[in-house]
Chain A
Amino acid sequence: MKEKLISDGKRIDGRKAEEFRPIEMKLDIVSRANGSASFRFGNSVVVASVFGPRALTPRHLQKPDSCVLRCRYNMAPFSVDDRKNPGPDRRSKEISKVTRLALEPAIFLEEFPKATIDAYIEVLQADGSTRVTGINATSLALVDSGVPMKDLVTACSVGKIDDTLIVDLNGKEDNNSEADIAFAMMPSKDKITLLQMDGLLTKQEFLTAIKMAKSYCKKIYELQKKTLKEKYENVD
């Protein structure tokens, strides 16, 4: 009855369990932003732009000893199968919050008291794992903006389907998985900044899945660094 999502060791899109979809990153998407980037995991496409540090108004929101990071995760109405009503829903609000918390530890926010950094994340096309795609894009946009950072933040999703742990869930896998985890870390510091899980996993499976997410984040990290270096290598 239920469609098998893995057969002969292959997933519905032909991938192996531990294979992610084609990744593509670009910088300088928004010309008047301080930093911007796009990130693609297969058919999930996200653009992020960063403005600031800039003055924070209203002033009562300012922090005397720190910059305030604000993140807005938003899905375009045409990004999903059934049109999504524009504007923030409960899911987007939660994702905006966890995105902010995933990125905050990597930024030297104390360098810019009373200011704000605004990060805007637009999902243009959704096929699963959009929040981690958004974090990868935003992390690139932050570096591109020149704000001092301790490390990049790199994110990926892992899940369990047909008793197999897989990386980078697509939309269909996301909807039918036994469990899925959204994960982000600062790879060179080896610290985890986003961890959300839902589904059913034993403790052992959970820890194995995190280890798997860590090793995949480190691969994505190399690609992110390469993208950033290329931009500056081509400067005369």
Chain B
Amino acid sequence: MQEKYALELIEKGKRIDGRKFEEFRPIEIKPNVIKNSEGSADVRFGDTRVIAGVKLNIGTPYPDTPEEGMLRVGAEFSPLAAPEFESGPPGEDAIELARIVDRGIRESECIELKKLCLTPEEKVWCLFVDIHIINHQGNLLDCSALASLVALLNTKIPKLEDDKIIRNEFEKPLPVVFKPINITVGKISDKFLIDPRFEEENILESKLSIAIRDDDKICSVQKQEKMELSLEDIERMVDIALVKSKEIRKLVK
């Protein structure tokens, strides 16, 4: 019902909550909401709400990057957040979301992973970014990517004493040098829109998620949903994302 109504409105050039096609819902960013994490953020796009937390541990580096810290992004679609979410190991959508957020952070080179090396080939910092969905009202990806970025920007590296981590005492902030912003552009009835609400998301023909760095370089792209796109569609969607990423980046301190 809601979907049909949303579609009718979109065809008339309107949206279910009265926004313009290229307008975000109100975005609210709260950094450092979880005391026990090394960095965290609570981000809302309208009713959609995601908490991201960063934990640091010491681990052995990957053999192909012996002098770099490690990054791992995970996402949990907790059954508390939406009726269609089920308990159990992460499903396909949660895995995809985490991997897209991971690529945005990794490929933008926003974290200086070389500075997270303690002893080459032996000991490095492992960064775990965990995304927890609290309320799913659409556009989880952009909200999760932003929550992860803000959490990283507020992450502090714990103190070490004889190679033991002293929790709650910190040495220095995590070296973050870029701010990659993820923008998902949806296509429906030859119209393009951003920040879809849940009802709109269900009727989108196609989506393109684009992560963009401060210097306007594209660092990750993923096409989602069933329908195909033309090259012209993609160019249009990239242009929208380029403009809109700046708008969000201004909100991030």
- A→B interface (CB under 8 Å): 90-91, 93-94, 96-98, 101, 104-105, 175, 179, 181, 185-186, 189-203, 206-207, 210-211, 214
Contacts and interface: CB of A to CB of B under 8 A. Distances in A.
Contacts of A175: 64
Contacts, number: 96
A101 B226 contact: yes
A192 B234 contact: yes
Contacts of A197: 218, 220-222
Interface string B221-253: 111111111110011001100100000000000
B96 interface: yes
A207 B223 contact: no
Contacts of A207: 231, 234-235, 238
Interface string B102-122: 010011110000000000000
A200 B216 CA distance: 10
Contact of A189 (B64, B216, B228, B242): B228
B238 to A, nearest CB: 6
B230 A190 contact: yes
B156 interface: no
Give the size range of B's interface with the partner.
Answer: 35 or more
A97 B231 contact: no
B33 to A, nearest CB: 27
Interface in B184-235: 208, 213, 216-231, 234-235
28 contacts: A93-B96, A94-B92, A94-B99, A96-B92, A98-B223, A101-B224, A101-B225, A105-B228, A189-B228, A191-B229, A191-B230, A192-B228, A192-B229, A193-B229, A195-B208, A195-B221, A195-B223, A198-B219, A200-B109, A200-B217, A201-B217, A202-B216, A202-B218, A203-B218, A203-B239, A206-B218, A207-B231, A207-B235
Nearest to B211: A198
B165 interface: no
Contact of A199 (B64, B93, B107, B235): B107
B95 interface: yes
Contact of A192 (B93, B223, B224): B223
Given A90-B99, A94-B99, A195 B218 contact: no
Given A101-B225, A203-B238, A198 B220 contact: yes
B107 A200 contact: yes
Contacts of A200: 107-109, 213, 217-219
Contact of B231 (A94, A192, A202): A192
Nearest to A186: B228
B186 to A, nearest CB: 15
Contacts of B242: 203
A192 B207 CA distance: 12
Interface centre among A191, A202, A210 (most CB of B within 10 A): A191
A195 B229 contact: yes
A195 B185 CA distance: 14
A179 B92 CA distance: 24
Contacts of A210: 231, 234
B216 A203 contact: yes
Given A94-B92, A197-B218, A192 B213 contact: no
A210 B109 CA distance: 23
**10 cross-chain pairs, A with B, having the tightest CB-CB distances, nearest first:** A191-B228, A197-B221, A195-B223, A198-B103, A198-B107, A105-B228, A198-B220, A200-B217, A192-B229, A193-B228
B219 A199 contact: yes
